[in-house]
């Protein structure tokens, strides 16, 4: 019927009702039809849709256009093209007005605030953020995009007044979809934080290092032990890196801001949605995964400054499988730093032990490797941590995994057992705890 070809010109109509009907018809045509999606692109439709959204002030038309973009963004072959053009239009036309980021600056734009269009727009951007490095870079650099997402999320969790705030924005969309919009925002930030430290400009890391050392007061050179005192202070600073407390981050700075770290931890404390929890944990896992000063500082911030392990423990206890897997990966990142081991052992070790396959957990091979690597890091640093593992009843599960675990998971368990066995003074304890398992360890 050549529907796409006939409908696209109608998006340029001066009649809002014609535009709305055409956008709605196209939205239906492309839904679950890759062929129609590609035809929209081939006929120059992406530019026409974005132009219509940029100029339209009609609520229904904007809802149809953002819904159409959301449907189109699910096609992998269109994501790169959309990533180059759609984020700026969606941010300017939908995200900024609805998030309240520019509240009071332009009253006319505030009339464009609409929870339905925001839900569609963030769904589209979530798809685009998964496209690859080029798309992530374009979205990180898009003015006000990250700012709007963070502002929106912080608004929904402030003062526990999520219902009041969001119901006023979403109208007939319903509160459940408002929660999905928050989830969309967190998932976008999760994707944009992937491989963040590797792709940061050099200046960002340099500033972080300078600000970290400037957090502690400089030692005064008094007395004959001044030089030694200075070295001790410097070593303490080196052991306890902290993120720069920047009161007004902008753009991609939000991705590694202390404010954003607190926001993710607040979501873990308050949200009951598995998708939101997994995305918040995933973002924290991403920004602690690197090998440089940034990841180290964020790990220390989560564990020491923000007491974040209490929320991770809750996720290990109550979360679904995806949530627990991501929590284990985050703890693996934190366990790379010996200074954080005591807190990990004290606050989450029993929950980690319960994640062992022999204890009924089903994490999957990758997460099980992460779990064993974490326990191995803890065990290498102090024998007291091995004693804590034994007290938590971990030995039978580790041995069973070492015997029967497939591939990398089994090897990781055997590596952990070798580390535990390296403490010869604990051999007697192993035999008392579980003689049969001890025989296989030795």
Q: What is the mean pLDDT of residues 380-395?
A: 94
Same domain? 66 vs 80? yes
| Average pLDDT for the chain | 86
Question: In 10 A of CB 420, how many CB atoms?
Answer: 25
With bands split at pLDDT 50, 70 and 90, how would you rate the model's confidence at 433? low
Report if residue 242 sits inside a domain: no
Pick 209 or 331 by higher pLDDT: 331
3-state DSSP: the chain helix, strand, coil percent, rounded to 5? 80, 0, 20
Residue 212 located in a structural domain? no
**What contacts 24+ positions apart, CB below 8 Å, involve 7-15?**
8/40, 8/43, 8/44, 8/45, 8/48, 11/45, 11/48, 11/49, 11/51, 11/52, 12/48, 12/51, 12/52
Is residue 322 located within the same domain as residue 350?
Answer: no
On the question of pLDDT at 441 being above 70, the answer is: no
Please report whether residue 52 resides in a domain: yes
- 168-177: per-residue pLDDT in tens? 444 444 445 5
Domain of residue 287: give its range: 257-336
235 occurs within a structural domain? no
pLDDT of amino acid 204 = 63
- pLDDT higher than 60, residue 82: yes
User: CA 423, CA 411: separation in Å to the nearest integer?
Assistant: 20
Q: How confident is the model at residue 236 (pLDDT cuts 50, 70, 90)?
A: very low
371 and 269 together in one domain:
no
The pLDDT value recorded for residue 394 is 92
Number of separate domains in the chain: 3
Q: Which residue has the tokens 């998708």?
A: 275
Q: Are residues 290 and 313 in the same domain?
A: yes
The answer on pLDDT for 381 being more than 80 is yes
Check whether residue 306 and residue 434 sit in a common domain.
Answer: no
d(CA 295, CA 280): 16
pLDDT of residue 172: 46
Together in a domain, 375 and 413: yes
Task: Give me the mean pLDDT over the 389-399 stretch.
Answer: 91
The enclosing domain of 37 has a CATH number of 1.25.10.10
Judgement on whether residues 354 and 262 belong to the same structural domain of the protein:
no
Q: Does 118 share its domain with 45? A: yes
User: Who's near 294: CB < 8 A, 6+ residues apart?
Assistant: 196, 197, 200, 204, 205, 208, 256, 287
Q: What is the distance between the alpha carbons of residues 310 and 343, in angstroms, rounded to a whole number?
A: 10
- 60: in domain: yes
Residue 246 falls inside a structural domain: no
Q: Are 73 and 100 part of one and the same domain?
A: yes
Q: Are residues 144 and 2 in the same domain?
A: yes
pLDDT band at 105 (very low <50, low <70, confident <90, very high): confident
Is residue 152 included in any domain, yes or no? yes
Residue 149 lies in a domain: yes
Q: Per residue in 256-310, pLDDT tens?
A: 999 999 999 999 999 999 999 999 999 999 999 999 889 999 999 999 999 999 9
Last residue of a domain, one of 336, 360, 389: 336
- Quote the pLDDT of residue 201: 72
Does residue 286 share a domain with residue 369? Answer: no
How high is the pLDDT of residue 177? 59
Shared domain for 12 and 36, answered yes or no, is: yes
Asked if 92 contacts 50 with a C-beta cutoff of 8 angstroms, the reply is no
Query: Contacts by 156-160 with C-beta closer than 8 Å and gap 24+?
Result: 156/182, 157/263, 157/266, 157/267, 157/270, 160/270
């Amino acid at each position: 019927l050549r529907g796409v070809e006939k409908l696209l010109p109608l998006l340029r109509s001066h009649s809002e009702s014609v535009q709305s009907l055409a956008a709605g018809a196209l939205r239906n045509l492309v839904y679950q039809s890759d062929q129609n999606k590609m035809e929209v692109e081939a006929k120059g439709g992406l530019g026409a849709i974005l132009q219509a959204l940029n100029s339209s002030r009609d609520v229904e038309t904007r809802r149809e256009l953002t819904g159409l973009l959301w449907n189109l963004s699910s096609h992998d072959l269109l994501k790169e093209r959309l990533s180059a053009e759609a984020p700026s239009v969606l941010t300017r036309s939908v995200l900024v007005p609805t998030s309240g980021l520019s509240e009071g600056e332009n009253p006319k734009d505030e009339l464009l605030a609409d929870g339905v269009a925001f839900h569609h727009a963030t769904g589209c951007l979530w798809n685009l953020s998964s496209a690859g490095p080029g798309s992530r870079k374009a979205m990180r650099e898009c003015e006000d995009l990250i700012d709007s997402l963070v502002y929106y999320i912080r608004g929904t969790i402030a003062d526990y007044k999520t219902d009041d705030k969001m119901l006023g924005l979403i109208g007939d969309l319903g509160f459940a979809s408002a929660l999905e919009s928050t989830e969309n925002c967190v998932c976008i930030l999760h994707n944009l934080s992937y491989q963040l430290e590797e792709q940061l400009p050099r200046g960002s890391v340099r500033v972080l290092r300078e600000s970290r050392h400037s957090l502690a007061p400089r030692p005064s050179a008094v007395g004959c032990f001044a030089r030694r005192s200075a070295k001790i202070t410097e070593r303490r600073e080196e052991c306890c890196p902290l993120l720069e407390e920047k009161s007004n981050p902008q753009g991609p700075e939000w991705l590694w801001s202390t404010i954003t770290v607190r926001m993710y931890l607040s979501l873990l404390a308050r949200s009951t949605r598995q998708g939101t929890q997994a995305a918040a944990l995933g973002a924290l896992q991403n920004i602690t995964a690197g090998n440089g000063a940034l990841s180290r500082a964020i790990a220390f911030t989560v564990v020491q400054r923000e007491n974040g392990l209490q929320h991770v423990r809750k996720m290990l206890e109550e979360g679904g499988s995806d949530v627990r897997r991501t929590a284990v990966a985050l703890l693996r990142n934190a366990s790379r730093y010996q200074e954080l081991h005591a807190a990990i052992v004290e606050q989450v070790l029993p929950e980690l032990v319960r994640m062992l396959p022999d204890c009924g957990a089903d994490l999957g091979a990758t997460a099980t490797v992460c779990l064993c690597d974490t326990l191995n890091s803890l065990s290498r640093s102090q024998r007291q941590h091995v004693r804590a593992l034994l007290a938590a009843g971990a030995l039978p599960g580790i041995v069973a995994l070492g015997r029967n675990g497939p591939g990398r998971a089994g090897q990781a368990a055997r590596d952990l057992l070798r580390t535990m066995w390296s403490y010869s003074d604990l051999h007697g304890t192993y035999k008392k705890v579980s003689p049969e398992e001890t025989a296989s360890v030795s």
